[in-house]
Structures are given as C-alpha cells and as structure tokens.
Amino acid sequence: MPDPFYITTPIYYVNDVPHIGSVYTNVACDVMARFARLDGHEVKFLTGTDEHGQKVEKSAKDAGLSPQAFVDKISENFQSLIPLCKLSSDDFIRTTEERHIKGVLYLWNTLVEKGYIYLDSYKGWYSVRDEAFYGESEIKDGKAPTGAPVEWVEEPSYFFKLSAFQEKLLNYYENHPDFIGPVSRRNEVIQFVKSGLTDLSVSRTSFTWGIEVPNDPKHVIYVWLDALTNYLTALGYPEKTEDFKKFWPALHVVGKDILRFHTVYWPAFLMAADLPLPSRIFAHGFWTNEGQKMSKSLKNTIDPVALIETYGLDPVRYFLMREIPFGQDGNFSKAHLVGRLNGDLANDLGNLSQRVLSFIQKNAEGRIPSKGSLNQEDKDLMEMSSNLLSKIRPMILKDQELHRYIEEVWKVIAASNRYVDHQAPWALKKTDPERMETVLYVLCTALQKIGILLQPLLPDSSGKILDQLALPLDKRGFEDLETPLQTGVLLPPPSVIFPKFKEESV
Ligand code: MSP
C-alpha cells in the first residue's frame, strides 16, 4: 500500500473575491490529489480560508460589516470554488473555527513553555497587505520588497526566538535537498536564512480581530502564526488523532510570494514545538494578465467564475496547468487559451477519440474490435502508452512538474494520431478487415490509457472518453491501466468532447 498523501493549498485571505491565483493553486493541488488517489494512496487534500488579521479587519470595516459577518460571507465565495472547479478536497478549514483556535492556543502555549516566546516591543515596518514585518534594509523607496505599502509600527509585542533556528534550518535544508522546490526557490531561501534571522514579532496590539494571546488579551496572535497552524488543526491537533498519525507531514503547495513564511517561520515553529516538519514545500510562480501585473487597483484581476462559464472547466484547468511550467511565472492570454482549446484539446485529443470511435461506429459494428497479431508499429504505440504511468508518477508526486506530465500524455496523443494516419484503417477496410480491427483495437487501448491518465487533469472530458469506450467505472483506476479491453463490448454513439471555441461566442 503506498504511503498516505497529505496535500494543502494556502488558506486564502477573505479580504476579497477569489481570482485566478486562488484557482491556480487549487487546481494544481487537485490534479496531484486525484492522481495520488488513482495511484492507490489514501489522500487528504486540504484547503480553506485565512480569516483573521488587520487586512481582513480593515476590509470588513470598509464593507460596513462586523468582521465575523464579513468573513462568513467571503469565505463562502472560496467554498463555492470547490464545486465550480471540481476540487476533490476532503476538508475546508476556516481560521475562525473553534477546532482551529483551540489548536493555535495549544501551539502558542507549547512555544511559551519551551521558552521560545518572550515579551518585548516591536519598532519597525509592517505591511498590512502582506501581513508581514520588514527589516529596515528590505525597504526600497518607502515600499516593501513586494511593492506593498508599509507603515511604521511601535507596540508591545511577543517575540518568537527565530534567531535560535538559523543553524538548525540551514542544516535541515542541507540534509533534505527535496524540502523546498523548485531548486531555484530553495537557493533563495538558503540565501535569506544565511543573511541572518532576527526574532519574529508574533503578536499585535493595535487591532483586535484575531486570536487573543492566552493571559494577555490586549494582544492578538500574529496572523501568520495563526494561519500556518491550519495545516495541523485540520488533522485534529493537538489531539494525536488517527488522521494526524496517518497524514502528517504534508506537501504544502504555495505561491512564491509566501515562501518565506512556509520554509522559514513554519519549520522553525514546528522545530520549537518538537513536531515533524512538512515533507516538502513547493512554490509556484505568478500569472500576469495579457502582460500586465494583476492587481485590484488596475482592475485587471481575472474572475475564475466568468472564465469557466465562457470556456468550460476542463479547458481552463488544462490551460492553467499546461501554459506555464509549474514553478515558473507566466502570462495569461485569452488568445493562448483559445489556441490551446482549439489546438491541443479539440484538434489533438478530441479529434483522436472522435475519428477512432466514429469510424468504429460506422465500420466495426460499434463494438470494441478484436485484436489480431501485432506488428512493430502496433507494439511501439502499445509500449509507449504502457510506459506512461511510471514516467509521470515522479513528475507529479515527487517533483510537481505538472506541465511535464501533460507533455508526456500529449506525446502519446500525437503518436496515436500519426498512427491512425499511417495505418489508414479506412483503406484496410477494403483490403484487410482483420488488420483494420487490430489497428482499431490498438487505438482503443491507447485511448483507454490516455483517458485514465488524464482523469486528474480533465475530470469531465476524460470521463466522457472512458464512457465512450464503455469502460466500467470500477475499471478506471491506475491498477486497471493494463487490463485489456474486452472485444465485442458495445460502444455508445460517440459525441464531440471539445467543441471548437469561436470568438463570436464570447
Ligand atoms: N492567507 C495567505 C496564505 C496563508 S497559508 C497559511 C495568503 N493568501 S492569499 O489569498 O493572498 O494568496 C493565496 C495564494 O494565491 C498564494 O499562494 C498566492 O501566491 C496565490 N496568488 C495570488 N496572486 C497570484 C497570481 N497572480 N498568480 C499566481 N498565484 C497567485 O497569502
């Protein structure tokens, strides 16, 4: 039995409606979670909302609502992404939930007991947008390195002895080369930690929307210490639950902007509390919109709901995962999305299944054909599709190279299309009907593997391909990749899986 697999998205700030960035991480994690399940792992896929802190408090005030009423409302928008994007998440955690607050207080008390928290006062820069403290040397032209505005803060504050973890963290990175991915991000983090860690302010007193510090209610716990703990509280921490024992540690997938919190602060908190560290933290890149940085003030954020309504869910999932190598930055362009929908999906994949299955309907009694003896070309295609799983498994579960997984499947789609052209079953129909059956059988087998392996990425359309192959629902797991199709099974009439997108229908 493969190891249990625990994967998390960041929990989203509820200061605003979801945008393409939120959908991006969600879909990427969903692809990995679905893949792991089909591959026999027991999976826990967690997402949720980050509901405390100054930023959320301010947004609630601007909206004229109490913070609680505001977060209840906005959190729903994020929960509605689950059916919209067909996310196979197993839990949705909100940091205002009792189960979470209880765990955060427990972690806080543990850090106090172990001597890692002390009271002092903070004097320095704070960015509400990033919910982050910045050192003097990081401020450029009066702004945070992220470009966010900063304000000068002077207030009593509890500190976490982050400086005590500099060497321990560096040793850990050294001994666990896969802890942070991609490698370029790992190097960045190592540089940052080598440049010196100062103690971290972990409480605020200038607002109240947060979890109160035990025995000192003037302070609320710093929103990042609160938020990061969600990965544990969703497993029932501090209770040593079955889930905790089974699933911790996790693979955390995050955007590159929140790398420092996940690879420096979070492991240090866990080390301080004597808890095992995450198995891996993978940071993906950022999307721009038609070449421009996306921001609320530029009014150019992309609404995922409208996007999915216009192009359909699977094309959007496909585009997000294929357009840019996972881990790198990239650009969102409608023209490219339409290009990929009409090219990769409609022409390559859709056309392959359509031409094979309609040909079978018309010329092979609409049944799974029979397999005669195989020539070298048949064997080559069969072998190519049979080798896919072992090739793509590490790409997804180990390296998070989701784009490479897709490229590998598309190589088989392209090879299958070339095979149809070359074998020309329409000509064989007259000259060698038996050979025609074999060619069609080989193609159905390729479609079976392509359909099964694309389920994590394209849950709807791959389901349709497999329906059209009359593959029973209990024969769609990876363990059935090599189960031969049964000659003679009646196939339903095929229908178009990816209709071409015409501009005027926008
Ligand atoms: N609340 C924190 C995370 C706490 S996790 C313990 C947070 N929330 S966020 O809502 O601001 O961001 C959520 C995710 O969206 C981050 O991983 C961020 O990188 C991602 N994205 C935000 N804008 C993005 C793009 N333009 N492109 C890709 N991802 C982006 O940070």
The per-residue pLDDT for 506 is: 46
Kindly report the CATH number assigned to the domain that includes residue 249: 3.40.50.620
Residue nearest to atom 8 of ligand 1 (CA): 12
CA distances from 270 to 166, 172, 174, 266 (A): 14, 13, 18, 6
Asked if 272 and 400 sit in the same domain, the reply is no
Asked if 350 and 496 sit in the same domain, the reply is yes
Task: Specify if 290 maps to a domain.
Answer: no
CA 346 / ligand 1 centre spacing (Å) = 32
Task: Specify if 300 maps to a domain.
Answer: no
Task: Specify if 425 maps to a domain.
Answer: yes
d(CA 290, CA 134): 31
Residue with tokens 């209770």: 239
Asked if 225 and 344 sit in the same domain, the reply is no
Asked if 41 and 121 sit in the same domain, the reply is yes
Asked if 278 and 161 sit in the same domain, the reply is yes
Task: Specify if 49 maps to a domain.
Answer: yes
- 35-38 contacts: CB < 8 A, separation 24 or more? 35/396, 35/397, 35/405, 35/456, 36/2, 36/5, 36/7, 36/397, 37/88, 38/452, 38/455, 38/456, 38/476, 38/477, 38/478
CA distances from 379 to 328, 335, 439, 440 (A): 37, 38, 11, 13
CA 282 / ligand 1 centre spacing (Å) = 13
Amino acid at 429: K
Asked if 281 and 361 sit in the same domain, the reply is no
Q: Which sign, positive or negative, has the C-alpha torsion 267, 268, 270, 274?
A: positive
Q: Which of 266, 285, 304 is the last residue in one of the domains?
A: 285
Mutation pick for ligand 1 pocket among 15, 23, 25 (CB with most ligand atoms within 8 Å): 25
Neighbour count for residue 239 (Cβ, 10 Å): 14
d(CA 362, CA 188): 59
* SS3 call for 252: strand
Domain that holds residue 18: 5-285
Asked if 34 and 147 sit in the same domain, the reply is yes
Q: Which of 250, 285, 320 is the last residue in one of the domains?
A: 285
pTM greater than 0.95 (yes/no): yes
Kindly report the CATH number assigned to the domain that includes residue 466: 1.10.730.10
* SS3 call for 307: helix
For residue 228, the ligand 1 atom closest to its alpha carbon is 6
Asked if 250 and 358 sit in the same domain, the reply is no
Task: Specify if 89 maps to a domain.
Answer: yes
DSSP string, 77-135: HHHTHHHHTT---SEEEETTSHHHHHHHHHHHHHHHHTT-EEEEEEEEEEETTTTEEE-
Task: Specify if 309 maps to a domain.
Answer: no
Asked if 248 and 360 sit in the same domain, the reply is no
Asked if 463 and 391 sit in the same domain, the reply is yes
pLDDT in tens, the chain (506 residues): 899 999 999 999 998 889 998 899 999 999 999 999 999 999 999 999 999 999 999 999 999 999 999 999 999 999 999 999 999 999 999 999 999 999 999 999 999 999 999 999 999 999 999 999 999 999 999 999 989 999 999 999 999 999 999 999 999 999 999 999 999 999 999 999 999 999 999 999 999 999 999 999 999 999 999 999 999 999 999 999 999 999 999 999 999 999 999 999 999 999 999 999 999 999 999 999 988 888 877 888 899 999 999 999 999 999 999 999 999 999 999 999 999 999 999 999 999 999 999 999 999 999 999 999 999 999 999 999 999 999 999 999 999 999 999 999 999 999 999 999 999 999 999 999 999 999 999 999 999 999 999 999 999 999 999 999 999 999 999 999 999 999 999 999 999 999 999 876 54
DSSP 367: B
Q: Which of 224, 251, 285 is the last residue in one of the domains?
A: 285
Asked if 414 and 269 sit in the same domain, the reply is no
Task: Specify if 444 maps to a domain.
Answer: yes
What's the number of domains the chain is made of?
Answer: 2
Asked if 19 and 155 sit in the same domain, the reply is yes
CB-side neighbour CA atoms (13 Å) of 393: 12
CA 22 / ligand 1 centre spacing (Å) = 6
Structure tokens at 130: 């990033």
Task: Specify if 329 maps to a domain.
Answer: no
Amino acid at 471: L
